Amino acid sequence: MKAWNDWYHASGHTYGTWLPGDPRGWRSRQHKRHVEGDYKKPPPPGTDAGILRYSHEALRDTPVYLDLPERCSVGRAMVDMLVEQGIELLALCQTAIHFHLLGRFRDPRVRPRVGRAKKHATFVLHDCGRDGRLWGRKCKVVPIADRQHQVNVYQYILRHRNEGGWVWTFRDGITWPTTIHKRPS
């Protein structure tokens, strides 16, 4: 499906926070295994407990949960890199475990652009003292179908403020305070 006016909604998770067998629902790689439910209508409790246990055992690092200063640093870094790449960004939110963004990507290769922003955010957190992996693999990219879809996604991203997420919109601009959040030693 072609995106309306080149607008896309991209989202992704931090490492180890949404795994196969998750009680919120999940999808197998390339949908090779049929899985009942999704995050709106989760499967019955305990349905895939064995798969979830295996997924946790297979993790190489601990799952990543971002505190508020880290969310702020990661969000700013992603906005900076996306704007530097020439992406017209409307909104971005970063919660403890995931991000959403709404942007106009003139080049339909959205994942590499978002991947570069994720990589930049990882380096920013490493400079602040956090080591290890930050992101899960890839990101989900959904082409925007029409103006109403764009408005719905924009409002959805803004609602993440209610979950304690760091939210940025085009109205905020890209001038940041000079303070850098560092983790205590």
Structural domain includes residue 86? yes
The mean pLDDT value of the chain amounts to: 86
Query: Same structural domain for residues 50 and 136?
Result: no
**Coil/strand/helix, residue 156:** helix
Residues 43 and 83 reside in one and the same domain: no
Q: Is residue 140 domain-shared with residue 102, that is, in the same domain?
A: yes
Strands 98-104, 88-94: pairing is: antiparallel
Checking if the pLDDT of 98 tops 90, the result is yes
Looking at the domain assignment, is residue 18 inside a domain?
no
Q: What is the value of pTM for the model shown?
A: 0.83
Encode pLDDT of 34-60 as tens digits: 667 666 777 777 777 777 676 667 778
Same domain, 102 and 121: yes
Of 65, 90, 88, 48, whose CA–CA distance to 14 is shortest? 65
* Pair (52, 139) in one structural domain: no
Quick one: pLDDT at residue 185?
A: 46
pLDDT at 17: 82
Give how many domains the chain has, as a whole number.
2
37: domain range? 29-58
Say what the pLDDT of residue 71 is. Answer: 95
In a domain, 131, yes or no: yes
Residues 47 and 82 in one domain: no
Quote the pLDDT of residue 34. 65
80 and 141 share one domain? yes
